[in-house]
Structure 1
């Protein structure tokens, strides 16, 4: 019998002359189970099932909000109108400056007091806890524009903004979500406090206090309270929060269009095309959620908080840094995102940069 042994890195391959099969019993087999994946392990399904409770809730919210719109225009008192806009504004602020820029992307650091306020504002949005929302959003960024992205904008605005909310994540996506690094939020006492007591906070802050105020303080009708402050307010904050993931469908550019996003030259012009810039540099605090850069109420609020000492370590990428990264990418043939991250470590930003625009 002839035996040939070929040694390659991490493996020992044995070729045996099958004319003498009895010799196999004398060959020592090497246990490789710790290095070779179990081929019998089933692959997780990528199919998504309908989330029927969500379907029913969203249908009712949208239909009942139509009556809420009628009441807001024709019957609700002025104080209810003002209260409606106040609640929706602070809820959206909690989502944009809080859940998105602060907790999802660490665009700045906030004092404990500011974090508590933003947590309360985010609870008023009624879209789930900060922890859960951030985990979904980080999954979105980690697998952006792929089939594993639950908000894949390549499937169109209707899917990215609305239809995907009617389905559960697939088992495969659930596995990917469980692998998202959430260690920073697990160390944040404000986030964990809200996560543990979310439904109690939701009942008090989102339902009880807002619905009671029009009845208690300016004697508006039960209908106005329920349909305007209840359903219509929820509809507005719901779509505002959904638009954070689907905004690229509205303000983004697709390959093949004028100044397409797959051309690096698009970023030379003062980071104009926001959505694609945001997915390259998600930690820039100036990146607005709704197609803006270095403008908008959320960015202005962060600047005010920084001036008051409530927000620190504001992350920003200067235009000259982007230009240097572009030159480096063209010269070295490296990935643009890698070049941007390397250039950011070398940039020098004045401490009071938040006091200036541009």
Structure 2
């Protein structure tokens, strides 16, 4: 079955014209804006920790190791200094492809304004403008509570799913 799929796709794709990357690149740009909505880190340190985590799961080089406890894996890793092995393994990483990606570089340089716009101003503006909600209610509920929920939902990937 494997050989049929490999050689079948090769045979089918041989006579096809090259496809446009407009749709995948538009999706990539949309995901970068969505990344700003989450308000974690800019894409470079986030991918840095993600690559280290999945390369060294539950070792001292894992930034969110569940061996150090549930609270540490959930949010305690933000409260302590990084283990020296994390830095030692991080030096070995090659992130040059990210530095060459124009969308990643743009997101890195414009991270703070995009976070302010997408994570706080826009979620506050929509209920104020469309439903006449007072700003002092819209901001805490639609921006801050959403921010808090998003952080804990993201951190659950580190703690609950690896526990």
Return the TM-score normalized by structure 1: 0.37
1:133 to 43, 46, 54: 46
Distance in 1 between residues matched to 2:156 and 2:78, nearest whole Å? 12
Contact 2:53 2:62 in 1 (8 A): yes
Count of aligned pairs: 141
Partner of residue 242, structure 1: 155
Higher mean alpha-carbon deviation, 219-228 vs 117-126, is at 219-228
Distance in 2 between residues matched to 1:120 and 1:201, nearest whole Å? 7
Deviation at 1:244, TM superposition (A): 2.4
Secondary structure in 2 matching 1:124: helix
Which whole-Å deviations, capped at 9, do the CAs of 1:225-276 have from their partners, x for residues lacking one? 1211122101111012212222211xxxxxxxxxxxxxxxxxxxxxxxxxxx
- Please give the root-mean-square deviation of Cα atoms over the aligned residues, in Å: 2.0
Distance in 1 between residues matched to 2:112 and 2:134, nearest whole Å? 26
Structure 2: give runs of 5+ residues left out of the alignment.
1-20
Deviation at 1:172, TM superposition (A): 4.6
Larger Rg: 1
Secondary structure in 1 matching 2:63: coil
Deviation at 1:133, TM superposition (A): 0.7
- Which structure carries more strand by proportion? 1
Return the TM-score normalized by structure 2: 0.77
Distance in 1 between residues matched to 2:157 and 2:102, nearest whole Å? 25
**2:67 is the alignment partner of 1:154:** yes
Deviation at 1:194, TM superposition (A): 0.3
Deviation at 1:162, TM superposition (A): 1.6
Deviation at 1:186, TM superposition (A): 2.1
Higher relative contact order (CA 8 A, sep 6+): 2
Distance in 2 between residues matched to 1:167 and 1:212, nearest whole Å? 36
Please identify runs of 4+ aligned residues in structure 1 that moved more than 4 A: none
Partner of residue 125, structure 2: 212
1:177 to 55, 73, 90: 90
